[in-house]
Chain A
């Protein structure tokens, strides 16, 4: 019988955007049937344009820094953009796929994306800003699949 994996993606920052897409694409390659439930800030990962998905050094003490940086400096305007740029360069240098590429790989491998209708309404997101291959539903709908999975992860 086909194995199944469900992931709940709740974060919308660059660092936390990678795990759901990496795990989902890998599981799909291994033959798993995969669904990702995007809720709260995870919904940002369904936007057609992912350029707003950033990483902040603030409140992120585990983030490796090229030079020690006091928290007050990290809070300066533009630091988020700088950190995001540096992270993207690092990812590229190491041959890590972009989020857009990984998302596309997931879709090609029939990973199903479900957007939480409640949080779409809560944040007043415009569905036209999301990619087309998204189904909208609630937690109960997700449990229909999640309840039968071999692996279920909360990211």
Chain B
């Protein structure tokens, strides 16, 4: 998937993946896509909840070799 910016949240625990996602989205423009890589399994539900509550769109969530990859489209 194409993306405009990547956030490395590997090794970070709650709430850092969410907080850093929010920060990364802040300096992006509408419809741009942020790729987030996290290792905290709690982030899977948290990223969906973040998207639901902020109006950004979680395009996909995948797991690869113990890493979670999210694509989030800014509203």
Specify whether A and B are partners: yes
Specify which chain A residues have a CB less than 8 angstroms from the CB of B13 in the assembled complex. 94-97
Specify which chain A residues have a CB less than 8 angstroms from the CB of B12 in the assembled complex. 95, 97
Size category of the A interface is: 10 to 19
B1-50 at interface with A (beta carbon < 8 Å) = 11-16, 18-19, 21-22, 39-40, 50
Bound: A29/B19 CA distance, A: 6
Tell me if A30 is interfacial: C-beta within 8 Å of chain B: yes
CB distance from B12 to the nearest CB of A (A): 5
> B16–A95 contact, CB under 8 A?
yes
Cross-chain contact of A25 among B11, B15, B21, B53 (Cβ < 8 A): B15
Closest Cβ neighbor of B9 among chain A residues? A95
- 6 closest A-B pairs by beta carbon, nearest first, are A29-B22, A26-B15, A95-B13, A95-B11, A96-B13, A95-B12
> B18–A26 contact, CB under 8 A?
yes
> A31–B54 contact, CB under 8 A?
yes
Bound: A97/B40 CA distance, A: 13
Specify which chain B residues have a CB less than 8 angstroms from the CB of A105 in the assembled complex. 19
Bound: A94/B42 CA distance, A: 12
Closest Cβ neighbor of B46 among chain A residues? A26
Tell me if A99 is interfacial: C-beta within 8 Å of chain B: no
Bound: A30/B13 CA distance, A: 17
CB distance from A101 to the nearest CB of B (A): 8
Bound: A97/B17 CA distance, A: 11
> B53–A30 contact, CB under 8 A?
yes
CB distance from B11 to the nearest CB of A (A): 4
Tell me if A22 is interfacial: C-beta within 8 Å of chain B: yes
Bound: A155/B54 CA distance, A: 26
CB distance from A27 to the nearest CB of B (A): 9
Bound: A7/B49 CA distance, A: 21
> A30–B50 contact, CB under 8 A?
yes
> B50–A97 contact, CB under 8 A?
no
Bound: A105/B14 CA distance, A: 13
CB distance from A110 to the nearest CB of B (A): 12
> B11–A29 contact, CB under 8 A?
no
